[in-house]
Structure 1
Amino acid sequence: MKRWVWLGLVGGLMACSEKKPPSQVEPQNCPGTTEESLPNTARAQALSSEDGLEDVLITFRPRVSASAKANTEAFATDVSRAGGQVRRRFPNLNLVSARLTPEAREALAQNPDVVSVRPNRKVHAFGMPRIPTNLFLRGTPNTAGSVGEYTPGVKMVQATEVWDANNDGALDPGSPSGTGIKVCVIDSGWDDRHPELKAAVIGGMDFVDREDDLKPTDPPGDGPLDRELKGGAYVYGGGHGTHTAGTIAAQLGAGGKVRPGQEPNGVAGVAPTVSLLIARVLDVTGSGNTDDVIAAVEWCQKQGANIASLSLGSSTKDDDEELAFNAALQGGMLSFAATGNSGADKVAFPAAYASVVAVGAVDFNGAWASFSQFGPQVSLVGPGVEVLSSTIVGASPFSEVSTGQSHFDSNPLEYSAINTYTGRLVDCGLGDSITSCGEGATCEGFVAYVDRGGGILFEDKARNAIHAGAKAVIIGNNDADTGEGNFTLNAPSPIWVPTTSISLANSPAMKALAGQQVTVDVSGTDYLVQTGTSMATPHVAGVAALLWSARRDLNASQIRQALESSAKDLGPTGRDSQYGYGLVQAVKAIQYANTQWPRQVP
């Protein structure tokens, strides 16, 4: 069955940006190829939310004679009377988030209790509740798998040396592997179908679409899931939260669907027996609001989380957000956040707050990643280049093109449909119109071969071939230096068919097969390679979980001290603005803690 997957956060793919020249009136499209507008997705809503309301955070002066809760409720009433729509209340911060008309904002400006009204700033992926949470019926984590699951990043931070010292693919009895430690992943949610995470996640909260605790009995689609139900169908995010969660907690021997030749057991996380809490604050486009982050931080702490991992941020500071992280640290929760991916000499927020551990990225050789934002706040670095981890089930495509015994290396275009089709190959030239495929086109179906170039977008090439009846499309690259290429159809569409690209070197042989039966297979796997400080952060948070599971008697400040003091120094000697204290090291952190704070013998 054909399906398309919205890989909204994957990014990093090239688009052909030339404009299509004006075309003549074309023949009638084949039945079933008319492109309807997409359902009312979160992205579409974001682009069309011109309702005259502004999302704001309002700080107010509390009345001395009342409790924090009473003060907040009283002020929320003032906001409502002024014409505002109250979203959330934060009694401990003397803060209310709301949506205001210009008139309501003007009225509140006259209120003597208002300290400030500022935008509810956006945060982006680098993703008050009832207490207590109803937890999932967590499964028992696997204790054995394969050493093939040990990714370069997991080995680089010495995780496997902690819980599999003899390197036999199984957890060493009694070794610290995260058991008893709760890590709260504040991100875009997770895919609850992924086998790597089912034993790890114990509870969650969706701060984007709902304000209820997630229960085991909830139907699919509820809870902090990285997908949204729109127009009767699920629109998936890019798996950002699933990827970061897998880096922390993917378990041994629990593999999903992998690419041919890859380790069948999938991957192992840094702390494979840790407990995960999932706080969804980013929508399927990777965007969220400041009040969502503040609410998530408070919720995580109330759930007893030891660690919070945030692969998201903003370029600007927010005072109340900083207070929330300060309070979390004082309450015993240690937070880790990504420095950002612009390469700028400025650390993003919340990573730049003193109460948060700022995490930058290095490659597997320990070299600083040029995209990793830097500054004096950088504390530690972790592997953040080409990191393999879990993603939305079936959302990481790979492709095969074959005819008889011949196979051609290929690469699926972003947003390609996931399906297999065998049909007669038709040379459609540059694909600049429906008539490009000539008499070989038929509405019964065929495989279209299209050359890259001609100033035509890939999506237009594919659309023209599909309107002519193509059930699969092969793009021939015209650049020898980029191999099969990394191209995109620019946006999801219900009409897309399996679409893949081949190299310039293979294009002549493919065109020579015109008229023969060719198979185009675009399949989806459950693992994805991604790059960014988003990927580095969960490596470091996972090491913190290992250390804390080895030394449950330590507090958050001691855990941070041990991680920083034992890090592998990279770059200039001592702490610097790119590497901070250096690359986090699990074995050395435990050794440091045992030396600095010897265990108390009863």
Structure 2
Amino acid sequence: MKRWLWLGLGLSGLVACGGDPDPIDVVLPQACPGTTDQSLPGTASSALSAQEPADGVLITFKPRVAANALAATADFAAAVEREGGTVKRRFPGLHMVSARLSPDALAKLKQNPDVLFVEPNRRVRASGLPTPPPVVSWQGAFSTQGSVGEYTEGLKLVQAPQVWDANNDGILDPGAPTGEGVKVCVIDSGWDSKHPELKAAFVGGKDFVDRDDDPTDQSEAQGIVTVGGGHGTHVAATILAQFGAGSGGRVTPGQDPNGVVGVAPGASLLVARVLDVKGGGSTDDVIEAVQWCQSQGARIASLSLGADGSSESEQIAFERVWNNGNGLLSIAASGNDGTNGVAYPAGYLPSVMAVGAVNAQGEYAEFSQFGPQLSLVAPGVNVLSATVLGAASLSSLEAGPAPITSSPLSFTAQGSYTGRLVNCGLGTDRASCGESATCDGFVAYVDRGDIFFEEKARNVIEAGARAIIIGNNVPEDGDGAFTLGSASTHWVPTVSVSLVSGAAIKKLEGQDVTVNITGVDYQRESGTSMATPHVSGVAALVFSARPDLSAAHVRAVLEKTALDDTETPGVDDKYGHGIVQAAKAVELARTLPEGGGPLPLP
């Protein structure tokens, strides 16, 4: 049973023809117990953007002649604190600190003759959308045998199997470059340390968000652990998922039971977590991370993140690691707004390579940002890779005589529920389900339209729904690809169906239907975030074949051997030099003299 609440809303303050209107009664059922917890998300918010408030400022000061950089930075940090500021980070090698100050204190500090420039410690975001010590191989024994079924469309497009499985027999060729001996540092949202595709390759990590040595893609506050979306895990696995490692994992129907293999399955993994569980981070974390990566012996930093505007402080940091010794090759996503002009750090030439996206056929992806800074493109549409264990979802819907095709909504709860189908219309409030809804539970059918999906879900859950079916209203979208906006412990199994299927399901009102959501360990994602690790993996193969080459040499090799697009031959703003090609790059690298010699011209 459910109690109903009548709210008499007198409108005596309004005047209309014929006198005051009668009071209007709004009939609203009370929410079912336990469904209105504060943790339930509110209305959908926009994606993280460059307009998000900066996390304080970055202050660069004048270096002192013959002064110890560490001591000079400490002195300057003390000057900031004397003005009432709080110093967050210190970067002695860059003569820089990040800090938080009041507007008055900042204005006063800018008058300090030792200050070179001050800029916002701007926010960065994930694009699904940071002489080195000797490089050593990780100590695990990675498998040399798997299955050609692990070779994704993207892997084939960038020629990776041609480098280490030339005869396509599913066995790594003896002596072939696999990335072994090369450390790749993934600067992202952290990783899932339990995923079988990655754990053998991991050699170290640091969390710049929570300030500890555990870069797991999660955070804890007040005893509640929040798991991230798996962005960093997906990126890392695209680079170096292990051959044959996924056996026993949960895969989608039709997928190889071994999961996937990365572009450079023998490479070693460093993880630098700079993005929180919502996919956002700060510039100073990226600066500190890229310095840490080089200090750990990384040859490559892979950054599937960025911001719309440049940062002089950040650019200085990337130039420093590029010019230090043989250099750190930083590879970053161009961005997903589909506009002219790449994101940053991708736009810092030549210290960072900007990577755009193409589909599995090598065609430009409309979301991929472009411009003269673009270096290369790589697969970035529906890329299959690993994710946080069980975080991806597989749905099934049993309604009527035959199973109905459905798609799980992002952030849906997992589990199975069978119950009576109730038509809740557009789900605009708790009353939408009518008197058929009870707190004993039911399956809510809701049409697409009017309000955000998470609002619809919240309303019908408060009415007692234990599972939800969303009916699409756009025929060409099929089941649709929808999201509940954010994670919540209160969501229920939620799927979407096509317009045609929705019409058929509504005829089953009052009958029992079953909504089932199971977890899988791999998922397809799109974005320049997914293109970037393909290039990072190819770079690892080249370094593996020629560890004596500099970052500048490897960049030049990758650009010279790229597959030119047929639309606009030559270097152009949408494809850069073209699609990265592993076999050609390794072949050219092997012909270079010891130490690389003169850079190969594009």
Go from structure 1 to structure 2 and tell me whether the alpha carbon gap of 1:558 and 1:229 turns closer, same or farther (over 3 Å shift). same
Go from structure 1 to structure 2 and tell me whether the alpha carbon gap of 1:427 and 1:361 turns closer, same or farther (over 3 Å shift). closer
Residue of structure 1 aligned with 2:261, choices 251, 258, 268 = 268
The reply to whether residue 381 of structure 1 matches residue 383 of structure 2 is: no
**How much has 1:241 moved relative to structure 2?**
1.0
Residue of structure 2 aligned with 1:390, choices 386, 400, 410 = 386
Percentage of pairs with the same residue: 58
Aligned-partner residue type, residue 312 of structure 1: L
Go from structure 1 to structure 2 and tell me whether the alpha carbon gap of 1:302 and 1:143 turns closer, same or farther (over 3 Å shift). same
Q: Give the structure 2 partner of residue 16 of structure 1.
A: none
Partner of 1:471, secondary structure, is strand
The reply to whether residue 366 of structure 1 matches residue 362 of structure 2 is: yes
Q: Give the structure 1 partner of residue 27 of structure 2.
A: 25
Residue of structure 2 aligned with 1:243, choices 231, 234, 240 = 234
Q: Is the 8 A contact 1:258 1:266 kept in 2?
A: yes
Aligned-partner residue type, residue 540 of structure 1: V
Tell me the C-alpha RMSD between the 2 structures.
2.9
Q: How far does the alpha carbon of each residue in 1:526-549 deviate from its partner, in whole angstroms, 9 at most, with x for none? A: 212111111111101100101111
Go from structure 1 to structure 2 and tell me whether the alpha carbon gap of 1:107 and 1:38 turns closer, same or farther (over 3 Å shift). farther
Between 326-335 and 301-310, the greater mean CA deviation after superposition: 326-335
Q: How far does the alpha carbon of each residue in 1:346-367 deviate from its partner, in whole angstroms, 9 at most, with x for none? A: 1222222221122121112122
Q: Give the structure 2 partner of residue 348 of structure 1.
A: 343
Between 157-166 and 329-338, the greater mean CA deviation after superposition: 329-338
Q: Give the structure 2 partner of residue 4 of structure 1.
A: none
Partner of 1:422, secondary structure, is strand
**How much has 1:291 moved relative to structure 2?**
1.2
**How much has 1:37 moved relative to structure 2?**
3.5
1:471-490 → structure 2 map (5 Å cutoff)? 471-490=466-485
Go from structure 1 to structure 2 and tell me whether the alpha carbon gap of 1:594 and 1:123 turns closer, same or farther (over 3 Å shift). same
Partner of 1:25, secondary structure, is strand
Q: Is the 8 A contact 2:55 2:282 kept in 1?
A: no
Residues in 2 aligned to 1:423 and 1:90: alpha-carbon distance in whole angstroms: 59
Q: Give the structure 1 partner of residue 36 of structure 2.
A: 34
The reply to whether residue 304 of structure 1 matches residue 297 of structure 2 is: yes
Residues in 1 aligned to 2:458 and 2:107: alpha-carbon distance in whole angstroms: 50
Between 409-418 and 442-451, the greater mean CA deviation after superposition: 442-451
**How much has 1:279 moved relative to structure 2?**
0.7
Q: Is the 8 A contact 2:58 2:99 kept in 1?
A: yes
Between 384-393 and 482-491, the greater mean CA deviation after superposition: 482-491
**How much has 1:298 moved relative to structure 2?**
0.8
Between 492-501 and 144-153, the greater mean CA deviation after superposition: 492-501
Q: Is the 8 A contact 2:420 2:443 kept in 1?
A: yes
Aligned-partner residue type, residue 226 of structure 1: D
Go from structure 1 to structure 2 and tell me whether the alpha carbon gap of 1:208 and 1:38 turns closer, same or farther (over 3 Å shift). farther
1:121-520 → structure 2 map (5 Å cutoff)? 121-126=122-127, 139-210=140-211, 212=212, 214=213, 223-255=214-246, 256-331=249-324, 332=326, 333-353=328-348, 354-403=350-399, 406-453=402-449, 455-520=450-515
Q: Is the 8 A contact 1:35 1:493 kept in 2?
A: no
Q: TM-score, normalised by structure 2?
A: 0.87
The reply to whether residue 552 of structure 1 matches residue 547 of structure 2 is: yes
Residues in 1 aligned to 2:489 and 2:96: alpha-carbon distance in whole angstroms: 43
The reply to whether residue 584 of structure 1 matches residue 586 of structure 2 is: no
**How much has 1:427 moved relative to structure 2?**
3.3
Q: Is the 8 A contact 1:139 1:198 kept in 2?
A: no
Q: Is the 8 A contact 1:53 1:102 kept in 2?
A: no
Aligned-partner residue type, residue 325 of structure 1: F
Higher relative contact order (CA 8 A, sep 6+): 1
Q: Give the structure 2 partner of residue 522 of structure 1.
A: 517
Residues in 2 aligned to 1:118 and 1:468: alpha-carbon distance in whole angstroms: 49
Between 571-580 and 261-270, the greater mean CA deviation after superposition: 571-580
Q: Is the 8 A contact 1:39 1:231 kept in 2?
A: no
**How much has 1:38 moved relative to structure 2?**
5.4
* Number of residue-to-residue matches in the alignment: 559
Go from structure 1 to structure 2 and tell me whether the alpha carbon gap of 1:65 and 1:484 turns closer, same or farther (over 3 Å shift). closer
Residues in 2 aligned to 1:114 and 1:172: alpha-carbon distance in whole angstroms: 56
Residues in 2 aligned to 1:157 and 1:268: alpha-carbon distance in whole angstroms: 13
**How much has 1:444 moved relative to structure 2?**
2.1
**How much has 1:391 moved relative to structure 2?**
1.4
Q: Is the 8 A contact 1:138 1:201 kept in 2?
A: no
Q: Is the 8 A contact 2:55 2:123 kept in 1?
A: no
Q: Give the structure 2 partner of residue 218 of structure 1.
A: none
Residues in 2 aligned to 1:101 and 1:35: alpha-carbon distance in whole angstroms: 36
Residues in 2 aligned to 1:290 and 1:245: alpha-carbon distance in whole angstroms: 21
Go from structure 1 to structure 2 and tell me whether the alpha carbon gap of 1:429 and 1:75 turns closer, same or farther (over 3 Å shift). closer
Between 412-421 and 150-159, the greater mean CA deviation after superposition: 412-421
Aligned-partner residue type, residue 92 of structure 1: G
Residues in 2 aligned to 1:461 and 1:342: alpha-carbon distance in whole angstroms: 28
Aligned-partner residue type, residue 560 of structure 1: R
Partner of 1:534, secondary structure, is helix
Residues in 2 aligned to 1:344 and 1:456: alpha-carbon distance in whole angstroms: 28
**How much has 1:575 moved relative to structure 2?**
1.8
Gaps of 5+ in 1: 1-21, 215-222
Q: How far does the alpha carbon of each residue in 1:401-447 deviate from its partner, in whole angstroms, 9 at most, with x for none? A: 11476201111223321111112223334444444444543322222
Go from structure 1 to structure 2 and tell me whether the alpha carbon gap of 1:35 and 1:171 turns closer, same or farther (over 3 Å shift). same
Q: TM-score, normalised by structure 1?
A: 0.87
Q: Give the structure 2 partner of residue 219 of structure 1.
A: none
Q: Is the 8 A contact 1:59 1:116 kept in 2?
A: yes
Aligned-partner residue type, residue 522 of structure 1: I
**How much has 1:202 moved relative to structure 2?**
0.9
**How much has 1:148 moved relative to structure 2?**
0.8
Q: How far does the alpha carbon of each residue in 1:383-402 deviate from its partner, in whole angstroms, 9 at most, with x for none? A: 11111111122221221111
**How much has 1:179 moved relative to structure 2?**
0.6
